[in-house]
Amino acid sequence: QQQVKQSPQSLIVQKGGISIINCAYENTAFDYFPWYQQFPGKGPALLIAIRPDVSEKKEGRFTISFNKSAKQFSLHIMDSQPGDSATYFCAASMGSGNTGKLIFGQGTTLQVKP
Amino acid sequence: GAVVSQHPSRVICKSGTSVKIECRSLDFQATTMFWYRQFPKQSLMLMATSNEGSKATYEQGVEKDKFLINHASLTLSTLTVTSAHPEDSSFYICSARPLTGTGYTFGSGTRLTVV
């Protein structure tokens, strides 16, 4: 029940296309859902995060869509660029991001082809 | 924005020796810091949660005597890998949660190689 399942494992997108990564969770006590971007040899960096009281959040080319009833959330990267090539992790925690530990998805390796 | 500094970024040690990794929150106070381990092409696995001034809470399967965690101040946590063996070779990442505000900030990671 603590798991966060992420798909796909890998994704190849053409430059300018839309990259979509999906995550699903079971624990309804989760109330903070961040997405992280990680480049090889670096720590994860926060991209965008959402709480379950909203269905969508947009920051620049990155959008989170949240479906509370389905217990799913997804990351959309619009106008994907080669510089977006990285590994993306979804995560979830309890306590609105103030308490609790982050539970990570399995990760998605994105490759954006020029 | 919040910055977490992790040192060293890379370390090579001989089997049987101990290695200390530092995690510092540079511009905020962190009551809670987290230590993760990441194998190549895998996700982050939480090893332990450390709270300033108290004993760390270890995840199931993580040997507390092997991975010693100290969180002596609101800006510093250390992970010591004791009697390291080649199977301890991995990428170790710390994360800090601020005293006020939300979110988790990650360090840049430490690549440990035990030879």
Torsion of CA A16, A104, B105, B53, to 10 degrees: 180
Q: Is B34 close to A36, i.e. CB distance below 8 A?
A: no
Q: How far is B101 from chain A (nearest CA, A)?
A: 7
For residue B8, is the peptide bond before it cis, meaning its omega torsion is within 30 degrees of 0? yes
Please give the Cα distance from A88 to A77 (Å, whole number): 11
Inform me whether the pLDDT recorded for A97 exceeds 70: no
What is the pLDDT at residue B91?
97
Contact A34/B103, CB-based, under 8 Å? yes
Model confidence at A30: pLDDT above 80? yes
B72 pLDDT band, cuts 50/70/90, is confident
The pLDDT tens digits of the residues spanning B44-60 come to: 999 999 988 888 999 99
Q: Which amino acid is at B58?
A: Y
Please compute the mean of the pLDDT values over residues B79-90 and round it to a whole number. 97
Nearest Cβ partner for B43 among A34, A97, A106: A106
Count of A–B CB contacts within 8 Å? 52
Minimum-distance CB partner of A97 among B95, B103, B109:
B103
Average pLDDT over residues A19-32: 95
Average pLDDT value for chain A: 94
DSSP string computed for chain A: ---EEEE-SEEEEETTS-EEEEEEE--TT--BEEEEEE-TTS--EEEEEE-TT-SEEEETTEEEEEETTTTEEEEEESS--GGG-EEEEEEEBSSTTTSS--EE---EEEEEE-
Tell me how far apart the alpha carbons of residues B75 and A52 are, in angstroms, rounded to a whole number: 31
Chain-centroid distance, C-alpha B48 = 8
CA A70/CA A47 separation, integer angstroms: 23
Q: Is residue A1's pLDDT more than 70?
A: no
Check residues A9 and B51 and name the one with the higher pLDDT.
Answer: A9
Average pLDDT, chain B: 93
Mean pLDDT within A67-88: 97
Predicted local confidence at residue A101, as pLDDT? 87
On chain B, the residues whose CB falls within 8 A of the CB of A109 are 41
Q: How much is the pLDDT for A98?
A: 64
Band the pLDDT of B38: cuts 50, 70, 90: very high
pLDDT band of B8, cuts 50, 70, 90: very high
Dihedral sign for Cα B99, B105, B108, B113, please: positive
- How much is the pLDDT for B46? 94
Mean pLDDT of B86-95: 97
Mean pLDDT of the region B77-104: 92
Give the three-state DSSP class for B87. Answer: helix
